[in-house]
Amino acid sequence: MKGDGPFPASNNVLLEVRNLRVIYDTTFGKVDAVSQVSFHVNENEFFGLAGESGCGKSTVAYSLVREVPPPGKIVGGQILLNGRDLLKLSNEEMRKVRWKEVSVIPQAAMNALNPVYTVGDQIAEAIMEHEKAPKDEALARAEELLDLVGVGRHRVRSYPHELSGGQRQRVMIAMALALNPPLVIADEPTTALDVVVQAQILNLFKELRDKFGMSMIFITHDLTTMFELVDRIAIMYAGKIVEIGPTDKIVDDPLHPYTQLLVKAVPRIGKGERGKFEYIPGSPPNLLEPPPGCRFHPRCPKRFEPCDREEPRIIQVDRDRWVACHLFGRG
Ligand code: SF4
């Protein structure tokens, strides 16, 4: 079964990303950071973007809220949220979309929080700005949110430095949920935390999903964490999506050679060989000059004749599975 891209088969689609392209215009040349990336997220779905550091997953995340840091530039594609292309909105229209329709939980909570304002004031600010709520009402909502994420309302007047790393991350989650957006993007939200706090934050996400019914795009290089949380996963390599599928199928039966190596590199979930883990040979390419053909070919143990000159298209190989590899046909 073949198709033109991993577009939705369901009618409860919240987000469709079509052929997204992002470059970083550097003094050394143009870095092809995100290339022809397409995926969709359904309502109340938890969707994962995984891959090694530098594969473009965070760039995709910040593209969705049009906040790619300079010298990054979105140069092509569509980002359809409830059918509306966010790339066509004015800056003012986009400002109204952030927090209200899509919000981001960033990687480093300490850097994202303003050290000179209390956490209550910082949560209340988004509520006051978007809903024109008076300050006392916004602060009351901030207290409720702090209770909800397990920090406790007594912390509403605390400054970020008075909280632990886990508490600060929970404050960021409270801020992301303040306006009850249908889509939340979590960019490596547990990376800086110890394993116990990581597990608590993952449980919190599960509880909040039941309570709010939001969708989430969860970004991480840690497949173990992702496997715990998401319904479907897209695997990225060198700025491109190489495989998309339901989490259990990605873990138990990965199709793309890169996904296979990535899964084997996680001993806890590698099929049949628990305790043994393998590393992925070589390193990701320099995206100033990506390799011709399949970007993974210099590291791929299964490369064959067309791989170093012909780029594989992403094709549908099953009802809910997509893969970009010549082993599955030439599109
Ligand atoms: Fe490997 Fe070729 Fe498939 Fe690329 S297209 S992953 S090089 S087999």
Q: Does residue 313's CB lie within 6 angstroms of at least one atom of ligand 1? A: no
Residue 111 banded pLDDT, cuts 50, 70, 90 = confident
Instruction: Indicate the fold that domain 13-96+230-328 takes in CATH.
Output: Rossmann fold (3.40.50)
Point out the ligand 1 atom lying closest to the alpha carbon of residue 300. 1
Backbone phi and psi for residue 217, each to the nearest 5 degrees, phi listed first: -105, 115
pTM across the whole model? 0.90
DSSP secondary structure string, 161-201? GGS-HHHHHHHHHHHHHTT--SEEEEESTTTTS-HHHHHHH
Distance CA 245, CA 258 (A): 14
What is the 264 CA–ligand 1 centroid distance (Å)? 17
Please answer whether residues 224 and 269 qualify as being in contact, where contact means their C-beta atoms are separated by less than 8 angstroms: yes
For the beta carbon of residue 144, count every other beta carbon within 10 angstroms: 13
Q: What is the pLDDT of residues 117-127, one digit of tens each?
A: 999 999 999 89
Q: Over 90: is that where the pLDDT of 191 sits?
A: no
Which is more confidently placed, 142 or 7?
142
Residue among 300, 313, 317 to mutate when testing ligand 1 (max atoms within 8 A of CB):
300
Q: 52 CA to middle of ligand 1, Å?
A: 17
The CA distance from 249 to 263, in Å, is 11
pLDDT band at 4 (very low <50, low <70, confident <90, very high): very low
SS (H, E, C) 16-74: EEEEEEEEEEECCEEEEEEEEEEEEEECCCEEEEECCCCCCHHHHHHHHCCCCCCCEEE
Query: How many angstroms is it from 299 CA to the middle of ligand 1?
Result: 9
Residue 1 has pLDDT above 50, yes or no: no
Give residue 2's pLDDT.
40
Q: What residue's CA is closest to ligand 1, atom 5? A: 325
The residues spanned by each domain of the chain are: 13-96+230-328
Pairing of strands 240-246, 232-237: antiparallel
Residue 247, pLDDT > 60, answer yes
Q: What is the mean pLDDT of residues 245-257?
A: 95
Residue 104: strand pairing partners = 185
Instruction: Say how many Å lie between the CA of residue 207 and the centre of ligand 1.
Output: 39
Give me the mean pLDDT over the 244-258 stretch: 96
Query: What is the residue-averaged pLDDT of the chain?
Result: 89
Q: Distance of CA 203 to CAs 108, 142, 208, 223, Å?
A: 19, 21, 9, 16
pLDDT of residue 161: 93
Say which residue, 278 or 38, is predicted with more confidence: 38
